[in-house]
Amino acid sequence: MRKFELIAPCHFGTESVLKKEIIDLGYDVTEVADGRVTFFGDEEAVCRANVFLRTAERILIKVGSFRAETFEELFQGTRALPWEDYIPQDGRFWVAKAASVKSKLFSPSDIQSIMKKAMVERLKDVYHVGWFPEDGEIFPVRVFLMKDLVTVGLDSTGESLHKRGYRRLTAKAPLAENLAAALILLTPWNRDRILVDPFCGSGTFPIEAAMMAAGMAPGMNREFTARNWKHIVDGRLWYDSIDEARELVDLQIDPDIQGYDMDDGMVSIARENARVAGVDKLIHFQRRDVARLSHPKKYGFLITNPPYGERLQEKKEMPALYRTLGERYRALDAWSLYVITAYEGAEQDIGRKADKNRKIYNGMMKTYYYQFLGPKPPRQNRRGEEALSLERPTAQEIIF
């Protein structure tokens, strides 16, 4: 079976979670860099990574890498890559995205244009033609330039992996599904613990948590560009990966996952999204203001994405909103609170310094993931006595 070096881009700040996911799938990670994780895998890995990874943006098949400080070096380096191993004579190919950091070449449009010309020249020589119809399957290419090192990958995914297919309706500022999944995985939450999102919006946190609880792979109900690349990945492997995913689903569970929002319309949207995702029976959505946040049980998790106050008129409301969140959190018995926000006064208004704080980029916006750790549920020690401890950093947090 053909072997590849695969690149999985992700949100800046979530690399450690993605690394843990890849290792758990059984693949060897070769590099962890800002915003991406690289690993080795075969044809089956292309399928399984696309279907099972919750926190990746997409899966790229690495075509090659080289150094380039001039456009001539970029042209020649691109032309030297074995494009004929991937792109057939009728393939539609283009550089879908170019990103450059600390490199002498920094114009995305120029990089894209020059690389396309170099690919055409290479394939003209290989196929002995002067023109390509480009009426076959699509082969989008992505390129990263970091300190003049050019890394080129073929995009096997298509639409970003955060698009699971369930979120047909959204809030004004929705959190990407793969980022929500990463933030949940950065906590010690599991399906035996309570999870409440008091600002649930379109329901992303509760839905992602319910999918995890049910063992539901995020990509099992969507399509991927590489499903049509029969000469690269055996088509049967896609069916095998989907079958594997379906066998792992367990909807005969009864988790305590709740989502609240003060807007009736958002609650309706969240319920519909959960229905499309197939987890509506696992989540309780309710119209409820954060001022009425409560729960009778102990040791739960609040995981939430409150308003940031991006608009001028909203900024005045932020202190009271976050103070209320802090007050209601303290009224809960032995809970943990996880908040992603760009609001700079979050800790001050919540009324407690976070035990941990992680910088996360939500798109291009720098946010902080504040982690207020509560005690773990009691466990029996060797003497049969109850022992309590604060929630410790998860394995994902200490990997990278």
Spatial separation of the C-alpha atoms in residues 283 and 214, rounded to whole Å = 12
The pLDDT, as a whole number, for residue 167 is 86
The distance of Cα 197 from the centroid of its chain, to the nearest Å, equals 19
Q: What is the mean pLDDT of each run of 10 residues along the chain (400 residues)?
A: 96 97 98 97 98 98 98 98 98 98 97 98 96 96 98 98 87 85 98 97 97 98 96 97 98 98 95 97 98 97 91 81 98 98 96 97 91 88 48 40
311: number of Cβ within 10 Å:
10
Q: How far apart are CA 222 and CA 185, in angstroms?
A: 22
Q: Are 282 and 319 in contact (CB under 8 A)?
A: no
pLDDT in the model for residue 363 = 81
Q: Which two tokens stand for residue 295?
A: 């729960």
Q: Can you give the pLDDT at residue 381?
A: 46
Residue 94: burial class (beta carbons within 10 Å; 0-12, 13-18, 19+): middle
CA dihedral 174, 178, 183, 188 (to 10 degrees): 140
Query: What separation in angstroms does the CA of 136 have from each of 89, 102, 236, 323?
Result: 8, 36, 21, 57
In this prediction, residue 274 carries a pLDDT of 97
Q: What is the pLDDT of residue 389?
A: 56
- What's the confidence (pLDDT) of residue 388? 52
329 three-class SS: helix
Closest alpha carbon to 293 in 329, 266, 248? 329
**pLDDT at residue number 303:** 98
> What's the confidence (pLDDT) of residue 314?
76
- Which pLDDT value is given to residue 391? 61
> What tokens appear for 282 in the block?
């696992």
